[in-house]
Structure 1
């Protein structure tokens, strides 16, 4: 059994932040209430996260039915699995903006802390086409905070440690914000440092294992995050927000601890895992019609050092390498909607341009490889209509059309004919998909699913 001691302190308790409405994609019938009775959507609020000591997004799986924590692949990434679908079919959004590495559409959610999160909306299956493409199994939207007072702030500190001295961890976060008549400003930051993972006292080492027990070797991580949000609110309905988020991290990959002699062992360490985002969100109302837009630019830089020994010092064997990612994404989206007495219709369009660049750098016995580039564009067009047959019954009809247009895909390797290493281009193509869905929602008592 793992044993941990948790100690937490909080100060400057003048905080009463609201949900950042511009970051919400699916607006439900009882959105002004605290809880959502729609069983296909889970809303995890900041209070829920605080009570359960949830420090990063994947830990939400502990308190959400049908949602599971998934640690996958050689990159030691933490993700959320929703009813059997991974992040390629259940994409992750922050304030309605898609978040993933362009190379394979995954993202390490373990790097995303919850200090500046108002709530997390998890759609399980039936979800709005307004999200855009690749939402076969649902969608996860991380909604940030929005200030509601002239002065509010929060300071938190926590420490955690196990029976081994190498498992000490601490985290600190702060928020400070002001809400004035025509504008608001919000600044926040967090620092989380974990020396290592505590292993069970009953752990027994296999002959093939590189792990000797107590604390897991090479299992530390450090995450730093700073965010700034500037909002302009000229009236009760319109809002224009510019936000900046910077994340810098380092992480390790625990050594192999299994029993199989032929297992592929990896001695990996990421000295750099950096992500920066700038986005502009707007909402403009014209009587019963509104217009929402989003524009964003993301950068992602990643360095991975693969060694050939448990000391993480030598790189003399063929499987040792140094890899570098340099990615960026730019996108735009617009939504126009009409809200009538019985009928609501929404039209949306989304565009995203992804660029992934990777390169294996030099090691003692290898020269640096050329930089490989991948580029593609994604378009999505959607329409969603909600008709209220009565106060208790609604019909939702929606359809969308998605386009994935690959522009460039390269690899560096040996040609089959002459076995000479060189850069070559893959064939690229354009793919399309037409999607449609319908739902009938009825409430028998007003407290059940609408």
Structure 2
């Protein structure tokens, strides 16, 4: 894991960058977006989300040096991200809904983990992504099931030139300019008219990180050099497509990610630390997408996929990471896979009406065991039928209606106990009906106003129903779906040719939320009352989002966003809702200081957030400032250098799991 970059090498790169003066804009543009991978409601207009969604562009990911998907999402209003926590998994929340309630897709293909519905988005790099689309509250029913709070779609790149690509290398350093990581990415593409091909390769390594000088050492973390904080992620992305005519397209995509990571131990005083390592966090996806036009007004879009996830967790006894002898220590193996697909039919029935119908199927297989124990098998089948209709009431007013019927059939569920051996759980089926409607008023060619209502649901995961929580939880095989009614009203418009504003208010009424409660009269392995997941939660979520982007002058762009989220646990007010700050503020500036030099800075404020539901663990609020200089050595070559956490704040998303202090980076990029 150790990088071979010397302090002198990094210092030289930084001096070269800061000592020069200029920058060229990223040539990536909307034409490089793989449009087959998008899922848009009718009534959308280019770059204007019709119903309150948000988009991170490839240019924004580059400008703000967002190398992972979770860091790119952090730029958006309504989205808050979390730190690694005990599992060192970076997650996100959209308007208070977590990553299980807002599933992740790649080009419309579901990629969330079969077992628990999560996906560690720190393992997903952004080098080969054209855009990230986030639907909030009201999402197209064409996504399929489980979109309780929205959906996140990672849209890949598609070549437009005969030969195009980019090569990038980067180095990372702590505040003493000691190397602690590196990155490499290559994207190559060709478009030959009748066919195209795209290849993406990336490598992102983090050997360690250094915490703020304000950190106060504890026994598990005796100094600033964060223990067990390494990670390595490698990815290959290959796409081959056929375009036999101006309307039809057929693409085969293969993505292979291989990752490994450590989990930094808890560095607070409230709980005992875990000593965990993941020697494997591997994901492999093969998927096919096609679009075939029928006549002048109809089409059929087909998606088919096979997705595989392999996970290894080694839970050690102590900080030596050498022995596995305690009851809390183990070697765990996950071997999951999913397959399925969807068929979508759309038809413009008249100049005023467009109808879309989709069928979805997903088969999930989860296999797990600890070393020396038999393999436990779990299998679910999820199906969905959805209908979406857009009716043009007037030249400016659209009525969007939709509904889906989702069903999950439990096929198999096993558990192993040293006393009972391998045994089967009873399995059951769950289903949900999800109607929604929205009015979209086109204020102009550059803006919309919208009012939407959506009844959404999420089905319980395998983990929700059957996990024993390492001996602390009673399984809940009869767990039912969560439900929410999401309301929103908003406006997105250009006030002037150079200034865009977005504003929205939202409210969600969540019922049957899955919450863990203590069960009276029980005793579990830890000597405490056992817990169990039950559908008892009633939660209200309300808030506002405001954002503005403006080209103030020919050389200066300013912008930012503010999000307020208030969540109330109406079923048990004494239990606090965790992980989401009530206030989040993001601001940025881009200044073309000289013809070839750009200065880019951004700041982010998060208010405090609770780590546990009793409020005894609180992650304090924080403000981060990051800055970057980018210099155009020549037309297609840029040299960048920057600093993250400029003021060396000691901060945490999860109490006791402190993030990196002041750190530096330098990148060299060549585009052709």
TM-score, normalisation: structure 1: 0.91
1:307-330 CA-partner distances (Å, limit 9, x unpaired):
112121122222211011111000
Q: Secondary structure at the match of 2:86?
A: coil
Question: Contact 1:167/1:198 (CA < 8 Å) preserved in 2?
Answer: no
Please state how far the C-alpha of 1:62 moved relative to its aligned partner: 2.8
1:243 corresponds to 2:253: yes
* Among 310, 314, 331, the residue aligned to 1:301: 310
Question: Contact 2:86/2:264 (CA < 8 Å) preserved in 1?
Answer: no
State how far apart, in whole Å, the 2-side matches of 1:232 and 1:445 are: 36
Please state how far the C-alpha of 1:447 moved relative to its aligned partner: 2.9
* Among 379, 382, 387, the residue aligned to 1:383: 387
Please state how far the C-alpha of 1:165 moved relative to its aligned partner: 6.8
* Among 72, 81, 86, the residue aligned to 1:74: 86
State how far apart, in whole Å, the 2-side matches of 1:165 and 1:212 are: 21
State how far apart, in whole Å, the 2-side matches of 1:199 and 1:220 are: 14
1:182-236 CA-partner distances (Å, limit 9, x unpaired):
1001111000000112201011123xx4012222110110000011100000001
Question: Contact 2:131/2:156 (CA < 8 Å) preserved in 1?
Answer: yes
Please state how far the C-alpha of 1:37 moved relative to its aligned partner: 4.8
Q: Secondary structure at the match of 2:61?
A: helix
State how far apart, in whole Å, the 2-side matches of 1:73 and 1:373 are: 28
Please state how far the C-alpha of 1:424 moved relative to its aligned partner: 1.0
State how far apart, in whole Å, the 1-side matches of 2:444 and 2:288 are: 40
Please state how far the C-alpha of 1:60 moved relative to its aligned partner: 1.9
State how far apart, in whole Å, the 2-side matches of 1:216 and 1:170 are: 17
Residue aligning to 2:407: 403
Q: How does 1:278-297 map to 2 (within 5 A)?
A: 278-286=286-294, 287-297=296-306
State how far apart, in whole Å, the 1-side matches of 2:161 and 2:202 are: 22
Please state how far the C-alpha of 1:392 moved relative to its aligned partner: 1.1
Residue aligning to 2:220: 210
Question: Contact 1:283/1:292 (CA < 8 Å) preserved in 2?
Answer: yes
1:239-268 CA-partner distances (Å, limit 9, x unpaired):
0001111000110100110012xx232100
Please state how far the C-alpha of 1:39 moved relative to its aligned partner: 5.8
1:257–1:199 CA distance, 2 compared to 1 (3 A): same
State how far apart, in whole Å, the 1-side matches of 2:423 and 2:156 are: 43
Question: Contact 1:167/1:197 (CA < 8 Å) preserved in 2?
Answer: no
State how far apart, in whole Å, the 2-side matches of 1:322 and 1:228 are: 33
Q: Secondary structure at the match of 2:228?
A: coil
State how far apart, in whole Å, the 1-side matches of 2:401 and 2:263 are: 46
State how far apart, in whole Å, the 1-side matches of 2:136 and 2:175 are: 39
State how far apart, in whole Å, the 2-side matches of 1:122 and 1:137 are: 10
Q: Secondary structure at the match of 1:59?
A: helix
Q: Larger deviation: 158-167 or 213-222?
A: 158-167
Name segments (4+ residues, structure 1) moved above 4 Å: 4-11, 13-17, 164-167
Please state how far the C-alpha of 1:167 moved relative to its aligned partner: 5.9
Please state how far the C-alpha of 1:76 moved relative to its aligned partner: 1.6
State how far apart, in whole Å, the 1-side matches of 2:409 and 2:92 are: 27
Q: Secondary structure at the match of 1:291?
A: strand
Question: Contact 2:43/2:440 (CA < 8 Å) preserved in 1?
Answer: no
State how far apart, in whole Å, the 1-side matches of 2:176 and 2:313 are: 27
1:25 corresponds to 2:34: no
Please state how far the C-alpha of 1:442 moved relative to its aligned partner: 1.1
RMSD of Structure 2 on Structure 1 (CA): 2.1
Question: Contact 1:225/1:246 (CA < 8 Å) preserved in 2?
Answer: yes
Residue aligning to 2:440: 441
1:275 corresponds to 2:286: no
Residue aligning to 2:130: 118
Please state how far the C-alpha of 1:15 moved relative to its aligned partner: 6.7
1:92–1:116 CA distance, 2 compared to 1 (3 A): same
Residue aligning to 1:89: 101
State how far apart, in whole Å, the 1-side matches of 2:195 and 2:369 are: 44
Residue aligning to 1:143: 155
Question: Contact 1:15/1:153 (CA < 8 Å) preserved in 2?
Answer: no
1:91-142 CA-partner distances (Å, limit 9, x unpaired):
0100000011111111111100001100010001111000001111010000
State how far apart, in whole Å, the 1-side matches of 2:84 and 2:175 are: 27
Question: Contact 2:41/2:140 (CA < 8 Å) preserved in 1?
Answer: no
Q: Secondary structure at the match of 1:36?
A: coil
Q: Secondary structure at the match of 2:189?
A: strand
Please state how far the C-alpha of 1:38 moved relative to its aligned partner: 3.5
Higher relative contact order at CA 8 Å, sep ≥6: structure 1 or structure 2?
2
Q: Secondary structure at the match of 1:258?
A: coil
State how far apart, in whole Å, the 2-side matches of 1:166 and 1:134 are: 45
Residue aligning to 1:332: 341
Residue aligning to 1:364: none
Question: Contact 2:229/2:261 (CA < 8 Å) preserved in 1?
Answer: yes
Please state how far the C-alpha of 1:50 moved relative to its aligned partner: 0.6
1:322-365 CA-partner distances (Å, limit 9, x unpaired):
0111110001101000123111110001000000000101xxxx
Q: Secondary structure at the match of 2:408?
A: strand
1:357-406 CA-partner distances (Å, limit 9, x unpaired):
00101xxxxxx011111100000100000001112100011111000101
Question: Contact 1:88/1:105 (CA < 8 Å) preserved in 2?
Answer: yes
Residue aligning to 2:182: 170
Question: Contact 2:104/2:152 (CA < 8 Å) preserved in 1?
Answer: yes
Q: How does 1:157-236 map to 2 (within 5 A)?
A: 157-163=169-175, 168-206=180-218, 209-236=219-246
Q: Secondary structure at the match of 1:74?
A: helix
Please state how far the C-alpha of 1:427 moved relative to its aligned partner: 0.8
1:46 corresponds to 2:58: yes
* Among 334, 351, 357, the residue aligned to 1:347: 357
1:212–1:73 CA distance, 2 compared to 1 (3 A): closer
Q: Which consecutive unaligned segments of at least 5 residues does structure 2 have?
A: 1-9, 18-22, 450-672
Residue aligning to 1:153: 165
* Among 266, 271, 277, the residue aligned to 2:274: 266
State how far apart, in whole Å, the 1-side matches of 2:146 and 2:163 are: 40
TM-score, normalisation: structure 2: 0.62
Q: Secondary structure at the match of 1:133?
A: coil
Q: Secondary structure at the match of 2:82?
A: strand
State how far apart, in whole Å, the 2-side matches of 1:30 and 1:372 are: 45
Q: Secondary structure at the match of 2:356?
A: strand
Q: Secondary structure at the match of 1:78?
A: coil
Aligned length: 429
State how far apart, in whole Å, the 2-side matches of 1:350 and 1:71 are: 33
